[in-house]
Structure 1
Amino acid sequence: MKKVASLLILALSLLLAACGSESSGGSASEEKKITFGATAGPYSDMVTKAIQPILEEKGYEVELIEFSDYIQPNKALANGDIDANLFQHLIYMESFAKENDMELSELISVPTAPMGIYSNKFASMEDISEGATIAIPNDPTNAARAFLILEDAGLITISADADPLTVSEKDIDENVKNLKFEPIEAGQLPRAVESVDLSAVPGNFALAASMNLLDALVLENMPDQYRNRVVVNTKDLEAQFAKDIKEAVESAEFEAVIDEEFQGFGKPEWMLNR
């Protein structure tokens, strides 16, 4: 009788062990799903066209959740509702994480739509006339980018003491053609092309308005900290899914899609220097 009881206990132990093994396998299977968050438009397209197919080849199921603002993608990431997001540059990520007490980290930078100077009046930067009006973003970060484009084009000179990330009109030492600056909300800059001489339009707003990046008189030489990033929770930086996302973005297949589908996007330094 004791022998039978022992055999029953052994059988039950093996059964429980088998159940535990199946449960562990199910968890590993669940880890083969990645939920990406991105703002609707070019960066959600970048996920579906350039990143998702490569991850699917690695055996992942990829779900995309689109957002219409710049607040919810980071909240969803911090809450664990998504695994990674793609919509923000480094400066925004660091500022948002600090203000909201989040532990977020960049995984890798990606090709990003640059700001451009657009005009329906002038055919080139050389044609810009004395006293022309240019609409610029009314937020400090994007305004600084606009002023740096104008400096690169030789239309203004900026004080050597100015911080490139916070350049404003007060930092202009010389305004070669006496340009007049009209700060407006960034989302209105595409329409401003119709009403002012020039408009400095961030790439994401240009694309949302169905503008062709290559129609710009000039595109910015974008500092790398303004390029968008794939962002994850800091605790997941060494997770296998994060490593696989990074490997996907670094692949030749990813760059081939960028060259074909995202013309005009500025590539990050790591992509140019490899």
Structure 2
Amino acid sequence: MKNLGLVLSIILLAGILVACGDNASGNTTTLNEDKIVVGVTAGPHEQIVEAAAEVAAENGLEVELKVFSDYVLPNTALSEGDLDVNSYQHEPFLDQFNDDHGTDLVPVGKTILNPMGVYSETYESMDDLPDGATFGLPNDPTNGGRALFILEEAGIISLEEGKKETASIHDVIDNPKNLEFIELDAAQIPKQLSEVDAAAINTNFALGAGINPKEDSILLESTNSPYVNFIVVRAENENDLAVEKFIEAYQSDEVKAFIEEEFQGSVIPSWDE
């Protein structure tokens, strides 16, 4: 009987410890209400979150910034818990990342539109591009598709029906100028612009290379683009107070004024759209 009592006591104690363990684990998923770690890509996203951090500090939220030089690592770091939030991507890219990596990252607040532009060191308009011109575009699926979407919207090419935002170069069904598409690393396209007749460049990389989208592009993405950027978190944290505080700071009048003054139309606040 003593042995039976001992066994029952051990089982009961184990059950209590497991319950406590589950409780503790649940608590660790909630973000600190007073500090948040935010990942961004270098350039406009970095500058804007720095401005948002100043607003957040006034409301008792400390923002620690981590800056990345590519598009994949901020999501990897977020999914692994090294970040609490990131701010750098549009929803088609996020959806593709979740599909490819089995992650559950969710958009929680609109930020900005970085209108992708087409640039050329040789030609002053898309009409000037000769037959068979070489055209550089990002080699990642979402931004490559975005570049093709812009070309179709401008009447330069036609894409297969149903492939608008997810198109690849293999989905081009009409190409009157016989453009030769060359897929390149998005971050390197500004350095390789002289090697092609024209190229589509993401705004953060264009600005980083001293290229002004509004003034220097020969074609600029329209403001009705589906590629608005978002603040992104792990699904378990989407209703956390720290996240709400950060969104409020980002979408403040102070940050909107900073964007409009700093970027003069090259970056567009999109949370009121």
Q: Does 1:124 align with 2:136?
A: no
Larger Rg: 1
What's the offset of the Cα at 1:227? 2.7
Counterparts in 2 of 1:30-41, with a 5 A limit? 31-41=33-43
- For structure 1, the residue ranges without an aligned partner over 5 or more in a row are 1-29
Cα RMSD of the aligned pairs, angstroms, is: 2.3
Distance 1:99 1:183, change over 3 A: closer
| Corresponding position of 2:182 | 182
Residue 272 of structure 2 aligns to a residue whose secondary structure is: helix
Structure-2-length-normalised TM-score: 0.78
Identity %: 39
Query: Quick check: 254-263 or 225-234, which moved more?
Result: 225-234
**How many Å separate the matches in 1 of 2:136 and 2:39?**
31
Q: Which residue of 2 aligns with 1:42?
A: 44
After superposition, the Cα gap between the structure-2 partners of 1:167 and 1:223, relative to the gap in structure 1 and judged at 3 Å, is farther
Matched, 1:209 2:220: no
Unaligned runs of 5+ in 2: 1-31
Report the counterpart of residue 164 of structure 2 in structure 1. 164
Question: Displacement of 1:45 after TM fit?
Answer: 1.3
Secondary structure of the residue aligned to 1:151 is helix
* Per-residue Cα deviation, 1:226-272 (whole angstroms, up to 9, x for no partner): 3322111222211111112222233222211110113312443x423
User: Structure 2 vs 1, CA of residues 120 and 71 (structure 1 numbering), >3 Å: closer, same or farther?
Assistant: closer
Bigger CA drift: 166-175 or 39-48? 166-175
Aligned residue for 1:136, secondary structure, equals strand
* Larger displacement relative to structure 2 (194-203 or 205-214): 205-214
Distance in 1 between the 2:37 and 2:189 partners? Answer: 32
Shift of 1:225: 4.7
TM-superposed CA distance for 1:223, in Å, is 6.4
Q: Is the 8 A contact 1:90 1:226 kept in 2?
A: yes
The question of 1:254 aligning with 2:255 is answered yes
* Cα separation, partners in 2 of 1:178 and 1:98, compared to 1, 3 Å: closer
Q: What is the CA distance between 1:67 and its match in structure 2?
A: 2.5
How many pairs does the alignment contain? Answer: 240
* TM-score (normalizing by structure 1): 0.77
* Segment of structure 1 superposing worse, 68-77 or 55-64: 68-77
- How far apart in 1 are the matches of 2:177 and 2:99? 40
Kindly state the Cα deviation for residue 202 of structure 1 after the two structures are TM-superposed.
1.9
User: Is the alpha carbon distance of 1:74 and 1:167 closer, same or farther for their aligned partners in structure 2, counting shifts above 3 Å?
Assistant: closer
Which deviates the most, 220-229 or 204-213? 220-229
Matched, 1:88 2:89: yes
Q: In structure 2, what is the equivalent of residue 4 of structure 1?
A: none
Distance 1:169 1:83 in 2: 35
**Take 2:74 and 2:185, find their aligned partners in 1: how far apart are those partners?**
22
Partner SS for 2:112: coil
Write the letter of the residue equivalent to 2:47: D
> Structure 1 residues 229-238 or 259-268, which shifts more?
259-268
2 CA distance for matches of 1:81 and 1:119?
A: 39
> Distance between the aligned counterparts of 2:84 and 2:169, measured in 1?
40
Q: Give the match for residue 191 of structure 1.
A: 191
